[in-house]
Structure 1
Amino acid sequence: MRKFTFLRKKIQAKDRSLQEKLVTKYFDDLQLNQQPKAGQDAGFDSDEVYNRIISNIDALPVKSAGRRKKWMVAASLFAMASFSALLFQYRSQVLDVVSPIVQKQIIATNGHVTNLTLADGTKVWLNGGSKLSYPETFRGNKREITLVGEAFLEVVHDAKKSFIVHTGNIKTQVLGTSFNVKAYPEDNFVKVDVATGKVGVVAAQAKTVFLTPAEEVIVNKKDHSAITTQGVDVNALSGWKDGDFIVKNMPLPEVLNAIKHRFNILIKADANLTKCSISANFTNVSLQNIVKIISKLVKGKAIAEGEGYRLKGKGC
């Protein structure tokens, strides 16, 4: 029977906590600080690593019986050195196989704002109609989460571990900062507004857009074109997390979506009204009065439709 078969059996063991301790101790005992690190894009294949070691052993020439013991020892040392180097090179990936990190998910339903603190101390506020997927703990040189909807984040600074928010094929990357991300499925854009620090926003096969405080980028989901704006009132824009409802020069469709996620009420508008933009402070204003105010601003009227409303009128 080939050597190291026991390694695979241990990986399949049920006691994941003990496995992770054994693997971590193994790395500490190796003291392989001089081993080269893998590139960030390097993939890890546990079967490939195992097969490479076995292939190296099988490739050794067969010697006479008198020298067989020496070659067995040499083969064992060579295999252990190879395995040690590979394990060190792919340390995080090995631990992911031995002891996978639990993935969690939290949902904020329409009409509610939810907040939580991640394992690294980062604080997250989720607006209504949003979903966040995140790991129970962060491992390796990245902190990655996935967002559907809108969130405001206060990311704890860590120069060695970048923080990445995935919203479809668009990602927002920081080291430590506070910013607002809006990426609802019904919107054709992803919007990022920076309150503090520096943020990098990049879509697939597109250049990274860097933002500093009071800057905003709107990325088109289809063609990945980006529009950047300066002098944005981020505090007003992200006031939803504190119960405020302020809109500044916001397109009517986006305002109506904000109302849906805040009050769980659907308001539709005729096509000729969609080009209207709204600026108003709706904080502590009832839904009925908000609808009346918007109707006047678009020079129209609101008609009850099912459990919601429809806006009709001349338009702006």
Structure 2
Amino acid sequence: MAKNYEKYTLEELITDEDFICWVKYPTQELDEFFQTLIKNNPSQAKLIHTAKLAVQQLAIASKQDAPANEIPVIWTDIEETLTQAPAPRAGLRISWKYLTAAAAVILLMGIGYWLNTRNMSASVYTQLTSNSAKPIKEVVNTSTEIMSVTLPDASEVKLQPNSRLSYNKSFEGDLREVYLSGEAYFDVKKNAKIPFVVYANGLVTKVLGTSFSVKAYEQDKQVSVNVKTGKVSVYAQKSPQTLDPETKGIVLTPNQQVIYTKENEQLARTLVAKPTILLNKQELLQFAFKDAPIDDIFEALEKAYGVEIIYDKEIMSNCRLTTSLTNETLFEKLDIICAGIEATYKLIDAQIVITSNGCN
């Protein structure tokens, strides 16, 4: 924050949005900033304390449903409270102009915060569960440990702390529907006749039988789904432009994930941070290469991790490598390979794209 708070007046502090945000909705970053400011400017400490108290009082006043003729009394009470606070500035009087401006900022910030945390996210889960045509059961994990939940079809869910899960009690009908707010890992029983669907704060994940994780906390701006086994179809729930929103979605395979941004309803596919090997230990022994064509090495990586590697076979036709790749992660393997053939790589839509000028 490029602001010279050391020279701020009381009126400037109580109408500053960052200062108000620190008082009402403190984050670690904001708290560290203002605590450092107080520590480095002890002469401003009393002023900041008074401004903080003013904002707190204004926040209370902005929530009061008072008749117009009582508003001046509320402001008078606020000033009296401030003048009685410990170590106030002598002769404290705050202009009505600044009180009104500060109250307006506080009220608008409060409304925005409430809309963002309530209407835009929490209501998605609440509305879906309350509008369900079938009787549902809710499980809430208020503990600090992962909770195991067995669904009516014997599918298993690992529910993270501070998460809630609702589901149809019987799973009868055309769909096995589950509603999630928070984070959970799903191990779904196969049933081709009755697809398994997870609704998670604006994102829909549809599967027949697979294992995957969903992270969809109400306060987060994004929802993510990553697949461990099988395939899932992921799409945004809000798609009034099309009768079949699934056609606008993304199909995920193992080691892939999708990030859904709630604000603009955008889906972005990529690889998970740590792709896991899909082969058994015996098959991994084949990851020792001696003067092997680069085609063989990339083909082995594709098979091991279920990823697609794109490169120019003609340009890299002379590239050969001797290496043993066993304990490294996928990206460490790629670093070793690219260093050996003087190439580079990047991730594009869950694909690995190799760039090279060829090998002599």
Q: Which has the higher contact order (CA 8 A, sep 6+)?
A: 1
TM range (shorter): 0.3 to 0.5
Alignment TM-score, normalising by the size of structure 1: 0.41
Alignment TM-score, normalising by the size of structure 2: 0.36
Q: Specify which structure has the higher proportion of helix.
A: 2
